[in-house]
Amino acid sequence: CLTGGALFCYISSASAVFMGVFELDQQHFAYAFALNAVGIMLLSSINKRISKRVGIQRRLQIGGLIQFTGALIVLLCALATSASLWMVMLGLFMAVAGIGFTGPNAMALAMSQQGARAGTASALMGSVQFSCGLLGGLILNFMPWNALLNMGLLMVMFTLLGLSAIFVIARQR
pLDDT of residue 41: 96
List, in sequence order, the alpha helices (H) in the chain: 2-15, 26-49, 56-79, 85-97, 99-111, 118-142, 147-172
Could you tell me which of 127, 137, 112, 118 has the C-alpha nearest to residue 6?
Answer: 137
Evaluate if residue 114 carries a pLDDT over 90. no
Tell me the pLDDT tens digit for each residue of 50-83.
999 999 999 999 999 999 999 999 999 999 988 8
pLDDT score at 111 = 82
25, 57, 109 from 173: Cα distances, Å: 48, 9, 11
At 88 the pLDDT is 97
Which is nearest to 23 in space by CA: 31, 15, 13, 35?
Answer: 15
The pTM score is 0.90
Contacts of 170 (CB under 8 A, 6+ apart): 57, 60, 61
- The pLDDT tens digits for 124-149 are 887 887 788 788 888 888 888 899 99
Residue 26, classed as helix, strand or coil, is helix
